[in-house]
Structure 1
Amino acid sequence: MDDLEKVKRDLGAALLAVRERSGLTQADVSSMVGLVPAVYGRIERGQMLPSVPTLYKLCLSLHISADALLGLGAEKLLAEALPSEPILPPELRRLTDLLRELPPDALRTLGALASAIAHRK
């Protein structure tokens, strides 16, 4: 096996491990970085390498350093070094995506409903 194939395989395995540890699906990660799910799946299976901008987005989205993803020994999470949003559970992320698509009046109505549910005794 040549070096490039090893890098692809190792990167894919690292992405799989980080994604599963985070409770994310391939569709979740691909959406976070702007990839088609099938393309992200190929990266994770070690069939292709991401571009440098995509690798950067993967690192930020998954809160892991490029060194760790590339197997260069640094296991430090980026969350310790860079301010970023916490990784939301998949259900909350899907709900957030849906909320972004709602018009203002629907958001107000949903907000009122959520407030009523939260304050219910």
Structure 2
Amino acid sequence: MDTELASMLGAASRAARVRMGLTQADVAERIGMASEVYGRLERGHMLPSVQNLRRLCVVLNVPPHELLGLGENLAAPPPAKDKAPGPVKVREDDTPEMRRLMRNLRKLSPVQLKLMNLVASAMQQKKK
């Protein structure tokens, strides 16, 4: 799965849903999907089928290129210049809080990650 595309599609879906004043359950019901599954889509944890993407566009009243993160000219966005390293694998013994932290860290820019690392190091030093 293309995680960058899934995140982009999820964020665009959420923005369109909020603009329309709908809940996740409203959208899920209208496209014939369980609300838990639609929540995963909005969080960028999955990609919809082509059929569900079409339904989503109709329900949210947005063109497909908007949900897919393409410009009006349908050109793909330029790649990020300072992209962070690839995703870190989740370990079996990670707590839900650790997994949530890792998801949030993956969304940060390299500069923000460096700052978070400094904060974590300072907190660890103070603990000793």
TM-score by length of 1: 0.58
- String of CA shifts for 1:30-85, please: whole Å, max 9, x gaps: 0110000000000000000000000000001111011010011139xxxxxxxxxx
Cross-structure match for 1:7: 5
Please give the secondary structure, in 2, of the residue aligned with 1:47.
coil
Please give the secondary structure, in 2, of the residue aligned with 1:53.
helix
Structure 1 unaligned segments of length 5 or more: list them. 76-121
> Structure 1 CA distance, aligned partners of 2:72 and 2:59?
17
Cross-structure match for 1:72: 70
Cross-structure match for 2:21: 23
Give the fraction of aligned pairs with identical amino acids, expressed as a percent: 49
Please give the residue correspondences for 1:33-48 in structure 2 after superposition, counting only pairs within 5 Å.
33-48=31-46
Structure 2 unaligned segments of length 5 or more: list them. 74-128
Aligned partner of 2:38: which letter? Y
> Structure 2 CA distance, aligned partners of 1:45 and 1:10?
9
Cross-structure match for 2:53: 55
**Native 8 Å contact 1:65 1:74 kept in 2:** no
**Native 8 Å contact 1:12 1:45 kept in 2:** yes
> Structure 2 CA distance, aligned partners of 1:74 and 1:62?
17
